[in-house]
Amino acid sequence: MDIADLISPDGVMVPLKVTSKKQALQALSHRAADLTGQNERVLFDVLLERERLGTTGVGNGIAIPHGRLPALSGMYGVFARLARPINFDSIDEQPVDLIFLLLAPESAGADHLKALARVSRLLRDRGMCDKLRGAETPEALYGLLTSGRTSQAA
């Protein structure tokens, strides 16, 4: 599974100016609603419910909020680089500045897990994260996210 299968150029937000986890999830839900045609509030509620199960702040300034919705026709991603790091209740207690939202149909099963693993592998690469933190435009971020390393199997 390629990152390009999950995200479109319209799914990149930079710089996202928020001051809290809730604001970040609201902004991501808003963009995801535009991309998926789903109700923004339903998306936000799915993300909040997932966060109640445990934080999606995975450490090293990265969060991968995700959720499943019955009405989705496919998987969707939204990537945001924040203007300023925020508290995301991360497992390492460090603030987050890179967020990759992943949404999948309820029926996605293993594909949802493969997509999460693919995003996680990409964002565990410190060199890639440094490049993402240095990119100035949505186009540059999209190019980095979907560059040659996406050919790795999920």
Taken as a whole, the chain contains a residue count of 154
Asked if 112 is an active-site residue, the reply is: no
**Cα angle vertex 77, ends 25, 82, to 5°?**
45
Place of tokens 């390492």: 92
42/48 Cα distance (integer angstroms): 10
In one letter, which amino acid is 20? Answer: S
State the catalytic residue, choosing from 66, 81, 112, 118. Answer: 66
Q: How far is CA 144 from the centre of its chain?
A: 14
Residue positions annotated with a catalytic role: 66
